[in-house]
Each structure stands twice: as structure tokens, then as C-alpha cells.
Structure 1
Amino acid sequence: MELGSPSQTKEILQKYNLNLKKSLGQNFLVDGNILRNIVGVADITKDDTVVEIGPGIGSLTQQLAKEAGEVIAVELDDRLIPVLEDTLAEYDNVKIKHGDALEVDFDQLAGKNYKVVANLPYYITTPIVMRLLEEDFSVDKIVVMVQKEVAERMVASPEDGKDYGVLSIGVQYHTAANIAFNVPSSVFIPQPRVDSAVVSLTVREESRAEVLDEKFFFKVVRASFQQRRKTIRNALSKAANIDLSRDLVDEALERVGIDSRRRGEKLNIEQFAQLSDLLFKLKYN
């Protein structure tokens, strides 16, 4: 039985008397071609262990199970656990885990060198993606469906204006990121108000830019974007999270050759790395 169709999805929802929860961002994908395309983007083989976040009724899980060696599906909504045990009963390579993706230890579940695939609820997209990248999990690749606007922010560069920001730098610092394809809102039950996109994030063996102190680097980045209309000089010298004097900021900007009147949104990752390293040295040495 193919799960990813409007009729099957409605039948399952009726069978289990399921009312979808807006608070959990539950929108179920009902297009088999798109489900299979997501698996294709993730380049799943029988050698792969795949962690799926938010399997819902198991439509994407089913397609992953056909291609992967093992699928571990992490679902927060306890009402869906018996549904998944039913819809995925024929797949002995699927394990269903009741848990919160913002808390679960993915390495403990999946071991090393696994892939993460998910149709993420919009409201927790950024926290989950950044948790996967910042907490040093042993994940090789992340393929997620997210709100189209968020996908565009993930892959944005300084040339992309307001789309470029802290999320862009955080994602691209850790991964090679690209938008695989867009997904219209019409292929979901219930239909969301916005379109989605599937993003492929291949985790880098080494971060895009080498920095002296990663936490300090991201403090500089966050301070630079906190008030986007401010110049880089004013943003950094007035940022409460980093405590830098104007003289120190001026010296660092001059030495790395960045015009103090530029805004942070015009600096690329390598420039932020160079600037943060010099600020770190001037502040702590």
C-alpha cells in the first residue's frame, strides 16, 4: 500500500480519528513523486542509516525504507506511534522512536555517518537544523523540506540582500547547501499558506572558514546582524553580547581592510572569520 496519496492519507486520518494539531505544524505530503524525489536527493542506499524527524503517518518513511538499510523515525506526537506501527508493519528495517528532536541524542540512536531526512514543521526548522550542525552529531547529510522563504535564507549570499543573515552563515559555515526543488502548498493535507522547498545540506569535513574561536565568531556574526541598518562599526561597538570598544572595532576593521561604513550583510563568511579572529586577538591577548 502506497501511503503518499490524498485518498490513503484521508483514509488513515479517518481510521484513527486523527485531528491534526496546528501547534505541531502537521501538514502531510500527499504526492508520491515528490516523496520519491526527496529520497533521490538524499541519495539513499542500502548502506545508509537514515534518521527521519516527524514521520507523521509514515508516507516518507515508507519510501526511505525501500531504499535504506535502516530507518529510525523520531515522532513527537504519541498519537501517531500506533499509526506508524500499523502503516509500516511490513518494513522490518524501520524503528519508531517516540521523542523530541530538539532533545534526542541522534548519535545514540543511529551511530555514526548517518543521514537525516525530514519534512520539518515550519516552527522548529531553524532550531532543529542548527542543533544538528552545532552539537557535533555524526551526521553526513541533511535533506529537509522547509518553508521556501527559509530555504532561500539558508543558501543566500551577501548579494541576496535581506535573505542573507545569521542563518545563512550558520548553515553554510557547516555545510555545502543548495535548494534541490520547490514544492507547492497544494500537495499537502491540510494545505499550508506558503510554498515549501527541499534543501540539501552536505556536512563539511572541515568548516568553510577556519576560526580561532567558533563561539566568538558567531557572537560577531549575530552582533553584526542584530540591527541590520547599522554600520558594521556601530553594530559591533554597541552590541551587548560581545562587549567591544569602538577603538578596538575601528582598529580591527582598518587592519582587515573593511570599510567601517559597510553593513554586516555585505560581508561574506571569510571576511567575518578574518574580522572575528582579529577582534578575538585584540580583546583577549
Structure 2
Amino acid sequence: MSEAGCRAGARRLGQNFLVDRNILGVIERLAALEPDDVVLEIGGGQGALSERLAGEVAHLHVVEVDLRLSDALHAALDGFSNVTLHFADALDLDFAALDPEPSAVVANLPYSIAATVILRTIDELSSVRSWVVMVQREVGERLAAAVGEPAYGAPSVLAQLACEVRVLRPVARTVFRPVPRVDSVLVGLRRRADSAVEPEVRALVHHAFAHRRKALARSLALAAEARPGVRERAREALVEMGHPPDERAERLSPEEFRALAARLRIGA
């Protein structure tokens, strides 16, 4: 594929390829992988990071949606017997079917799907203990945001219920080709011992943030599947938890959402 074609395809798919060997080394060090790790890389691109990872771990799953990158990936990885290439859209991939099951996610994620993919792997791959991922700065800030910060929202709550989340470091635009129009950061996540997020908690979080300008209880009442009386029960539960009855979602911590879900379940 020509360089011009590569650039056009990259922009269309939200891909920016890593071309700086120093940042590849930084990612590798931050990931702190062990020889028995099984790594999932989403957005293999031209294989620069894939090649580094394959030589360090027991197995590497590489997911790439762009078939035009097949030759480049095979050229980078054909010397390794511990690599499985998946030419598929990560949004459609059955993560639970990956064999062997991943223990870590290390990736330069396509910006357009980064938050969705991170949350899906947290939810669907209980075997994964750690993530080191390159994302758009705004996505990283959203995942790591604290209560009351402008970026705090549903992704913050869902990620932090399951994982410890940190923005590890900023990354210069010059390490990518094509050069992106946005800033990037490396984000690290480490799964908590009690990381399960029940479906009812996940639904509550999404409904609570669906109408950010409205009170949390009102936002829950506006959900299509809202049960009668949920607004009143939510207001009562918030008061019991020490919040005003008309509190907004961005004032509740991740654990308070879990507690609120439990109170609403008991009062149903």
C-alpha cells in the first residue's frame, strides 16, 4: 500500500501508527509484562509494537480491521510462532472466545473506538489484570477523572469500579504517522480484586449520566425502562446516603453508584 493510501486509511479508521522506537520501549516498560503473559493488542497497524511484544510474552493476539495492512503485519510477525492475527473489527470481535485467554491489554488504540474497547475488555475479559493503552488525551482524562471534575462521567465510573486508573504520561504527536491533530496519553489500568460490575449498576450509571443537566433522580425516571416511582425512591436513597435529593450524577463516587443500585433494588 502506498504511503498516501496508508494515511488516508489511517484517518478514516482513527489510526495513527507509532514510528518512534523510544515510545515503543516506554510502552513495553510500563506494561511490565511477564514471559507467561498472553497479550491482546487492538490496532496492530504496521506491526511496530506487535513485533516488540511478540518477543516478550507467551502469546500475542493482534486485532486489525484494515486488511490492507495484512502484508505489513505478516512481514513483521511471520517469524513468531506465538502470534494469532485477527483481521476483524474490534467492536464485533468475541473477546471471550480468544484462546489462549489474554492476561494483559497493550495497545495503541484507534482513537474512534478507544473508550468503548477499554470498557468492553474490562467487562468481557475477566482474565485481564492490566492495561497499558495509548488513547486521545480527552479519553484518558475521562477514564481517570475524579468526582466533580468536568470530564467525570459514565466511562469514569465504570472503569474505576473495576480498575485503578491512571494517566501515566503525555505522548508527543511527533511519534505518530500520520501526525494526529489531537494530543495523546498513555493510560494504565489495573483490575481491582472485587471488579465485577453488575448489569443493573452499569444500567444505572448510563441512565444517571444520560441527561447531565438534570438531577440524577429525574434522569433515571426518563429512562425508557424506568419503573414507576423510581424518581421518588432515588431521591430518598440519595438523602439516606448524605446527598441532596436533587443531586446530579457527577457528584456521586463510583462506589456510591454501587450503593445506590443496592438501595434501589431493595426498595423496588
TM-score for the superposition, normalised by structure 1 = 0.85
Partner residue of 1:263 out of 223, 248, 251: 248
Residue 69 of structure 1 aligns with which residue?
58
Deviates more, 1:167-176 or 1:254-263: 254-263
SS in 1 for 2:186: strand
2:200 matches 1:216: yes
Answering whether residue 39 of structure 2 is matched by residue 44 of structure 1, we say no
Q: Is 2:162 the counterpart of 1:177?
A: no
User: Which secondary structure state, in structure 1, belongs to the residue aligned with residue 131 of structure 2?
Assistant: strand
Q: 1:271 to 1:126 in 2, by over 3 A?
A: same
- State the Cα distance separating 1:253 from its structure 2 match: 2.4
Greater mean alpha carbon deviation, residues 125-134 or residues 218-227: 218-227
Residue 90 to residue 113, structure 1, CA distance change in 2 (3 Å): closer
**How many residues align structurally?**
266
2:45 is the counterpart of 1:56: yes
Does the aligned pair in 2 maintain the 1:111–1:138 contact within 8 Å? no
The more displaced of 42-51 and 248-257 is: 248-257
Is contact 1:52–1:61 with CA below 8 Å preserved after alignment? yes
Bigger CA radius of gyration: 1
5+ residue gaps, structure 1, are: 1-11
Asked if residue 191 in structure 1 is aligned to residue 179 in structure 2, the reply is yes
Shift of 1:110: 3.5
Q: 1:243 aligns with which of 213, 227, 232?
A: 227
Q: Distance in 1 between matches of 2:103 and 2:240?
A: 42
Q: Is the Cα–Cα contact under 8 Å of residues 96 and 124 in structure 2 kept in the other structure? A: no
Q: Would you say the 8 A contact 1:106–1:137 is kept in 2?
A: no
Output the CA distance in 2 between the equivalents of 1:149 and 1:204.
23
Partner of 2:69: helix, strand, or coil? Answer: helix
Distance 1:98 1:252 in 2: 47
Task: Select between 90-99 and 42-51 the one with higher mean Cα deviation.
Answer: 90-99
Q: Report the secondary structure of 1:112's partner residue.
A: coil
Q: What RMSD in Å do the two structures reach over aligned CA positions? A: 2.2
CA distance in 1, matches of 2:160, 2:226: 22
For residues 204 and 87 of structure 1, do their structure 2 counterparts lie closer, same or farther at Cα, with a shift above 3 Å needed? same
Q: 1:219 Cα shift? A: 2.3
State the alpha-carbon separation in 1 of the partners of residues 115 and 226 from structure 2: 23
**Unpaired runs of at least 5, structure 2:** none
Structure 1 pair 87/26, CA: closer, same or farther in 2 (3 Å)? Answer: same
Q: 1:39 deviation in Å?
A: 1.2
Tell me the distance in 2 between the aligned counterparts of 1:216 and 1:109: 26
Instruction: Indicate how the Cα distance of structure 1 residues 58 and 248 shifts in structure 2: closer, same or farther if over 3 A, else same.
Output: same
1:30 matches 2:15: no
Aligned mates of 1:102, 1:43 — CA distance in 2:
27
Identity within the alignment, %: 38
1:123-157 deviation line (CA, Å, top 9, x unaligned):
11122111112224422222211100110010111
